[in-house]
Structure 1
């Protein structure tokens, strides 16, 4: 199985276009903020202590979540391409079990998600640290890395569930375009969540993306000096059906519930596919 994982990692990192396209959603959010949004938002945060740093960490948090979604989708898309090309059939003929094949894709996708989120974290934080002189404590860095490691499991399960029924590269490409575009919206990185209507907040609240973004923001953004209205605006708290979620423990629980649900659905899909004699 290790050779399969190594092969899938080589396929991903060996293709610059794969890496670039998987990061496109994160790059778009970063460019939009740096070129168009940063100045206007900063003008509205002149009354906030360290307002520029707050905005930088707001963007960084959402971008990490976007990278987690899009890179793990690209990782799982290798499964669909290998299925379509007949590569997986070759694996089966060579005696590799279906379980090992499935696990190899899940493990390699998880490693891709963790590594690419870490790279996004380091590069964007490094940029803001040099330009805006923002800083993080070792504790904050450790907590952010811990969240990356945990939430990557969630994104792998989500994208495994989304790609599992897909058998065509054309369908996969269309799905990738939709997910890459929608990820920034659902992770509330294009615009502050507080500017959205209640209906829009309730819709994005049906996905784990805003909760993951909020978790990163609670870790990275110093909140002691922030007014409550600024917290609501930037998504340091999240309101759904008029219930405001502030505790990181509650948000972690919600993310864990999403993970369990996706895992359960994926397990059912695997069993059904096995009964139909498919990979």
Structure 2
């Protein structure tokens, strides 16, 4: 496991195009934010001193929700390429347990995804944040780190499962682009969830990827918007939270942050188990 982990990390770091495209989503999101989304959100809070920070944290939450998935998909292009050139067969005939091989690939993806997320947070604060010292509250860091770990674990497990079905690197790359684009929309990165038809919202609420977006935005924005909407109707606060993807509701009950974290973790376990089952069938 350790050898595969170190090997994949070195391959990824030395591949400049992989690193570039892992960070590319930040710059695309920043452009869309600057031209469209940011102005609309900031205009709604033009008289509030926290208006700019709310808009910026909303965008960062969206970026962090897709990064663990896009980076993980990119990481597992290494495994697809190994499969294409026959290197993966050498791993499986070696005297190494299969779960150690799977664990090495997934652990490598988790570490790289975490690193890319941290770099993106730093880039975002440097480029966008007007007051970096006021961008985070001290109570948010532990929650943010927990969310980053669970989201990268999910992204790695899901990407590993998906990569099993591909044998050609070019086909896998095309699928990556399609998956990343779909997740970008369903996570409310390019459009807020209030812009979607009501018929789509129940489907979006079932997607673990959408819960990742809600998790990050809940952590980043909940303390701030609670202050902003302190003296207003609770229905207005709920409407804003739902439309902006800060909270999910089932009926009149808000899905808690812990419930969303558990939901994403369960899906991580499901994808990992499916990967092991599928991998064993392919070996027979």
Both proteins in one fold, TM over 0.5: yes
Aligned equivalents of 1:34, 1:103: Cα separation in 2: 40
For residues 74 and 98 of structure 1, what CA distance do their matches in structure 2 show? 22
Determine whether 1:56 maps to 2:56. Answer: yes
Pairwise mapping of residues 72-151 of structure 1 onto structure 2 (< 5 A)? 72-92=72-92, 95-130=95-130, 134-151=134-151
Q: Is the 8 A contact 1:201 1:239 kept in 2?
A: no
Count residues with an aligned counterpart.
274
Name the TM-score, length of structure 2 as normaliser: 0.87
1:223 match: secondary structure: helix
CA distance in 1, matches of 2:89, 2:269: 30
Alignment partners' CA distance in 1, 2:57 and 2:266: 26
Alpha-carbon distance in 2 for matches of 1:267, 1:103: 10
Q: Which residue is equivalent to 2:233?
A: none
Q: CA deviation at 1:78?
A: 0.9
Q: Secondary structure at the match of 1:84?
A: helix
Q: Please give the TM-score of this superposition, normalised by the length of structure 1.
A: 0.88
Counterpart pick for 2:241 among 216, 228, 231: 231
Counterpart CA distance in 2 for 1:103 and 1:207 is 24
Confirm whether residue 2 of structure 1 aligns to residue 11 of structure 2. no
CA distance in 1, matches of 2:9, 2:269: 26
Residue in structure 2 matched with residue 155 of structure 1 by the alignment:
155
- More deviation, 136-145/245-254: 245-254
RMSD of the TM alignment (CA)? 2.2
CA deviation profile, 1:131-190 (whole Å, cap 9, x unmatched): 687421222122212210122111111111111121111220111110222221122111
| Gap regions ≥5 residues in structure 2 | 230-236
Cα displacement string for residues 50-88 of structure 1 (whole angstroms, at most 9, x for unaligned residues) = 121111101001100111110011111211111111222
The runs of 5 or more residues in structure 1 that have no matched partner are none
SS at match of 1:191: coil
Three-state SS of the structure 1 residue aligned to 2:29 is helix
Q: Which residue of 1 aligns with 2:234?
A: none
